[in-house]
Structure 1
Amino acid sequence: MALLFFCFITVVACDQKEKVKDETVFKVVKTTQPIEVDGILDEPVWQKSEIQSFNYFFDVEKPSDQQKTMFRMLWDETNLYLFYECEDQFITAKEKIRDGAPYLDDCAEIFLIPIPEPAKMHYGIEVNLFKTSNDFIYFNDFYNGEFASAKGFNPDIEIAFTINGTLNDNSDIDKGWTMEMAIPIKSFLGVDKFYPVKEGSKWKFLALRQDRNEIAGERRIASTNFPTNKDVHDPNVFGLLEFVKPF
C-alpha cells in the first residue's frame, strides 16, 4: 500500500510539472535601468517587454463595451512594474476611499499567486483613476466554504496614470488612459521563500480591467488576459508568468 501511495504521488507530481511546462508562459523581463513611474512608456526597456491583450470579456451589452487593453510587466530586485494601456470612450471613477470599491470604476487589477500552481489564496491589487486602491489577500475557502478577503494587506504601491479625455464627463468621447504601478517585492516577504522573484521563477497570475462607461449605476465590463469562467478569483483560471533575464 505504501508503495502504491508513493507511485500515485509521483505520478501526480510529474503530471503537475508537465502542466506547468506545457502552459503558455508570460515572460516578465528584468530591467537593469531605473523606471520612473509616470504613466508614460518612455523607458526603452518597455519596448522589450512582452505585451498581452485583454481579449476575454464578460458582461458585454453593446459592441462599444469591448475596448482594447494592452498589458506589460517588468521586474528588478526592488519592484514589479505593471503598465496598462486602455482605450476608453467614457472615462469614469468615483471611489476615493482605500479598500473601498474601485473595481466599480475604470480600474486596473492584478491577482498574484507566488507559486506556479493554483492555490486557494492570492494577492489582489485594484486601482482606479483617483489612485484609490483596494489591496487584499483573498482566501477562496476560508471557512465553511465561504471566501474572505484580508484587507490589512496595504503595500506601498507607487501609482501614476495619464488620461486622454475628460474624467466623469460623458458629453464628449474620450481616447483612453494609462496606468503604471510599482509593487514592492517586499510585499510578498515570507511566502516568497518558495519561488522568489528571480530568473526562472514562475508565478500564477491574472491581469484584469474593469471598464465603466456610465456615470450612474454600477454596470461595468470586465476583461482579462486569460480566459475565465466569470469567477476571476478562481485560481484554476490564472495563467503563468516567468521572471526572465534582460534580452
Structure 2
Amino acid sequence: MLKPFYTFLFLFTTGSLHTYAQQNLSEALLMQSLPKTYAVIKTKEAIVIDGLANEASWDLAPWSDKFVDIEGDLKPAPRFDTKVKMLWDENYLYLYARLDEPHIWGTLTQHDAIIYHDNDFEVFLKPSDRQSLYYEIEINALNTIMDLMMAKAYRIGGEAIMHWDVKNLKSAVHIEGTLNNPTDVDSYWSIEMAIPFASLGTFGKAPTPRVNDFWQINFSRVQWQHVIENGEYKRKKENGKLLAEDNWVWSPIGVINMHYPERWGYIQFVEQIDKESYPKSQTIKQAAWNIFYLQQLYFTENSHRYSNRLEALPGFEKVLKHNISGLRHRITTNKDKTFYKSELLDPANHLKVTIDNFGNYTISYEQ
C-alpha cells in the first residue's frame, strides 16, 4: 500500500512532450539488480604509477568481482577475465585493472580520440549524489586517454564536454606479451591510474572524500572481434559492417548503455575493511528512478501523458511496489499531464528525493 502524504497537485502550466522512454517493460525489469560495492582502503604508501602495482599496499587491496556482460545474466560470461582493485589517499583515487587478452593491440595515439574504437578500458565516476555531474576516462593499450565531463546523462539530453581534462591524471600500461604482434599469443595488459581528487572538485565542495563517504563508479571494457590483414589487427566485419563490440562491466546496467549513473556500483572510502555496505540513500534512489522508467513507458502508451497515480504505471507490481514500501510520496502534474514531478520521503533515514520527467533528480536531508 502506498502512503501519499498529501493530495495530488495539478499545475496549470505547459510541460514538454519530449521524453526519453524505455523501450519496454522488460528493460526496466532488467535494471533491478543491486549495484556492486567495493571498500577502498586508504594507503600511506607512495604509489608509483608504472602499470605494475607492485607496492605492498596493492597486496592488501582486494580484487573486485570479475566483469560480466553489461546486460547481466541475460548474456553469456565474457570470453576473457577482467578485474580491478582500488586504493586512496589524501590526493588520489588509485586503480589497477588487469585485462586478460591473447591478442593485445591498439591504434589510437591522439588524446581525446574515440578510444573505444580500439579495445579499451573505461572508468565512469560520479563523486556526488547531489549533483548530476559525472566523468568518463577511456584508455587503450597504447596508454592513450580520452576524458570528458557530463553535466547529465546522454539519454536525458546531456552533452559530452570534451575540452575538459582530468588535470594531472597519472596513467601507465603494462603489457604481458607483445603489442600489435599477431604472430604470438599474449597474456594480459594492465592499467594503473592515479585520479587526482582536486581535478574532480567543484566550487564550494572539498575535493577529497572523507572516511566512509560513498561515490558511484563503474568500469567498462569494450572488446572487438578482430581479423588480421597484412600483418595488422582490424575490427572484424560481416557484409561490410563492423560486428558489434562486447561490453563487459563491473556492475551490470541491464541494458547496453553505460550512461545510467544511477545503476553504477558504489565505492566506500575506508581506512580498513569491515564489511561492504550501501549508502542509506540506495532504496529511495532506486524507487525514484523506477518511477522515472515506468512513467516513460506510461507516457508512450497513453497519448503522451503521464500518470498521477503510481499504481497505474505499467509494471508497478513487479518493479516498483516492493521498493516503495515504507516511503511517502506525492506526484505533481500540470493540467494536461505532459509534466510530472515525483517527491519521495524516507522518514527512517530523513531523506527527500525528487525526480521529474526530464530526469532532474535531487536528494536532500530532512530534519
Q: Aligned residue for 1:112?
A: 125
Q: Aligned residue for 1:238?
A: 264
Matched, 1:28 2:40: yes
Matched, 1:52 2:64: yes
Superposed CA RMSD in Å reads 2.8
Between the aligned partners of 1:85 and 1:23, the Cα distance in structure 2 is 21
Q: Aligned residue for 2:135?
A: 123
Describe how 1:93-242 pairs up with structure 2 within 5 A: 93-116=106-129, 120-140=132-152, 145-155=156-166, 156-190=168-202, 193=205, 196-214=208-226, 215-217=233-235, 219=243, 220-228=245-253, 229-242=255-268
Q: CA deviation at 1:195?
A: 7.9
Q: CA deviation at 1:209?
A: 1.6
Measured at CA, do residues 141 and 70 of structure 1 come closer, stay the same or move farther in structure 2, by a change above 3 Å? Answer: closer
Measured at CA, do residues 89 and 192 of structure 1 come closer, stay the same or move farther in structure 2, by a change above 3 Å? Answer: farther
Between the aligned partners of 2:223 and 2:190, the Cα distance in structure 1 is 13
Between the aligned partners of 2:35 and 2:144, the Cα distance in structure 1 is 34
Q: Is residue 67–residue 78 contact of structure 2 (8 Å, CA) maintained in 1?
A: no
Q: Secondary structure at the match of 1:103?
A: helix
Between the aligned partners of 1:68 and 1:246, the Cα distance in structure 2 is 27
Count of matched residue pairs: 225
Q: CA deviation at 1:86?
A: 1.1
More RCO (CA 8 Å, sep 6+): 1
Q: Is residue 32–residue 246 contact of structure 1 (8 Å, CA) maintained in 2?
A: no
Q: Aligned residue for 2:103?
A: 90
Give the number of the structure whose residues are more often strand, by fraction.
1
Q: Which runs of 5+ in 1 are unaligned?
A: 6-21
- The one-letter code of the counterpart of 1:83 is Y
Q: What percent identity do the matched residue pairs reach?
A: 25
Between the aligned partners of 2:47 and 2:266, the Cα distance in structure 1 is 24
Q: Is residue 161–residue 177 contact of structure 1 (8 Å, CA) maintained in 2?
A: yes
Q: Which runs of 5+ in 2 are unaligned?
A: 7-33, 227-232, 236-241, 274-367
Return the TM-score normalized by structure 2.
Answer: 0.56
Q: Is residue 70–residue 252 contact of structure 2 (8 Å, CA) maintained in 1?
A: no
Q: Secondary structure at the match of 1:52?
A: coil
Return structure 1 stretches of 4+ with deviation > 6 angstroms: none
Q: Aligned residue for 1:15?
A: none
- The one-letter code of the counterpart of 1:223 is W
State which of 65, 71, 80 in structure 2 corresponds to 1:67: 80
Q: CA deviation at 1:116?
A: 4.3
Between the aligned partners of 1:188 and 1:157, the Cα distance in structure 2 is 11
Q: Larger radius of gyration, structure 1 or 2?
A: 2
Between the aligned partners of 2:77 and 2:215, the Cα distance in structure 1 is 33
Return the TM-score normalized by structure 1.
Answer: 0.81
Q: CA deviation at 1:147?
A: 3.1
